[in-house]
Amino acid sequence: MLRLDTRFLKGFPKALKVYEKDLLEARERLLAKNKAPGAMLGWMGLPEDTETLREIRRYREAHPWVEDYVLLGIGGSALGPKALEAAFNESGVRFHYVDHVEPEPVRKLLRTLDPRKTLVNAISKSGATAETLAALLIFLNWLQKSLGEGWRRHLVLTTDPQRGALRALAEREGLRTFAIPENVGGRYSVLSPVGLLPLAFAGADLEALLMGARKANELALAPLEQSLPLQTALLQHLHRHLPVTVFMVYSERLKHLPSWFVQLHDESLGKQDREGNRVGTTAVPALGPADQHAQVQLFREGPLDKLIVLVVPERAAEDLPLPEVAGLEAEAGYLFGKGLFALLKAEAEATYRALAEAGQRVYTLYLSEVSPYAVGWLLQHLMWQTAFLGELWGVNAFDQPGVELGKRLTFALLGRPGYGEEG
């Protein structure tokens, strides 16, 4: 379950009435786009795709020998699986992410892996991302050298159904692939095979994850009073004059979730609107309680330029009682007999109050627990929130024209044919 707490934003219930028409119109505009050719709204339907889920299950069952799973991908092709696998790995399969281009960690990883027990999954929607292609060159060569003809069983590609270098390679070599639907962009792809395939190897409950996401879909389309995604979109919209939106998660298991959110929010919404105005707010990742001992000083006494979102679990699957230890009564006695989770909850609540008291704008999203169901719901909720904000802010939440120049300049520096002039 997901629950919104806006107790310190006193004007919110009234704003919901004032903005009702704008919100409902934004939702209508978004849904109307679904009919247009080229609309990138396929993420809305991913939670219903049981056929792909079955295919992924079969593939997982046919590969019981996998002990190490190497994921080659970056941005939307890595952040989602990384966030979810860290939270829900039940299988003991070891995951390694090559979402960078630093030689030393890649060399170190290659030294530790046994190719016979390793599955390499290259993920790229476009099939054109330099970092991913570079990693693929290295790992494909390594598999071929170490396994000879058997290398093909150890490589699986997740990519566009038709286009791109990965698709072409798969066809030439007869490699196993999973498709990222054409109408699903990278940062909205976590519930496609991009996330589901690695999570199947992690042993996560995929059905519950998708069931949670379906709940977010239901609420996104519900009347405004029940529509959590419209409500949090409004909270972001009301505070768009504040340059920073902090996304602070009180869960060690979800420590990579803020990075996933940062890409979703920043790359979707930070752009020029139709009149050429620069719009967007900067999402800042934070982790509780660790950042109480780092960023919270700034949040308390620094500029009041932030909207702060706390994501807090309400229950632990299993709490850990704090034992009494003789000699530590004076400093730690107040903890004796309490659960570790009680401390987490108290800290989240204390931070919530302290930030509000400081004059920061802050609201909390409670997760019933850190479960695949609740987190699937949260991810899909945040995708809806982002898509609604795209409509409210007059930007296309599904493209990323601003990253193109950097790519072209990289190509020019490396002498890729056709890119010489910029170099």
Ligand X SMILES: O=P(O)(O)OC[C@H]1O[C@H](O)[C@H](O)[C@@H](O)[C@@H]1O
* Closest CB to ligand X among residues 214, 407: 407
Catalytic annotation on 407?
A: yes
* Closest CB to ligand X among residues 40, 308: 40
Catalytic residue among 63, 96, 255, 407: 407
* Closest CB to ligand X among residues 98, 312: 98
Helix (H, G, I), strand (E, B) or coil at 321: strand
State the residues that interact with ligand X by CB under 6 A: 74-77, 124-126, 129, 132, 186-187, 267, 400, 403
Residues 6+ apart with CB under 8 A from 100: 74, 131
* Letter string b/e over residues 243-277, b meaning 16 or more CB atoms within 10 A of that residue's CB: ebbbbbbbbebbbbbbbbbbbbbbbbbbbeeeeee
CB of 119 to ligand X, least distance (A): 19
* Nearest-angstrom CA–CA distance, 153 and 145: 14
Residues 6+ apart with CB under 8 A from 214: 47, 48, 380
CB of 124 to ligand X, least distance (A): 3
* Closest CB to ligand X among residues 129, 351: 129
CB of 95 to ligand X, least distance (A): 18
CB of 20 to ligand X, least distance (A): 33
* Nearest-angstrom CA–CA distance, 396 and 386: 10
CB of 193 to ligand X, least distance (A): 12
* Nearest-angstrom CA–CA distance, 153 and 284: 40
Residue 400 C-alpha from the chain's centroid: 17
What sign for the dihedral angle of Cα 168, 169, 172, 173?
negative
* Nearest-angstrom CA–CA distance, 387 and 42: 12
* Closest CB to ligand X among residues 267, 291: 267
* Nearest-angstrom CA–CA distance, 356 and 337: 30
Catalytic residue among 10, 17, 241, 293: 293
Residues 6+ apart with CB under 8 A from 132: 72, 73, 74, 77, 122, 123, 124
Structure tokens at 251: 């869960």
CB of 194 to ligand X, least distance (A): 8
Catalytic annotation on 293?
A: yes
Catalytic residue among 85, 154, 237, 267: 267
Structure tokens at 213: 């996401």
Q: 313 has which bridge partners? A: 367
Helix, strand counts (H, E) of the chain: 16, 12
* Nearest-angstrom CA–CA distance, 368 and 258: 18
CB of 158 to ligand X, least distance (A): 9
Structure tokens at 8: 């310190």
* Closest CB to ligand X among residues 134, 354: 134
* Closest CB to ligand X among residues 31, 130: 130
- State the catalytic residues: 267, 293, 407
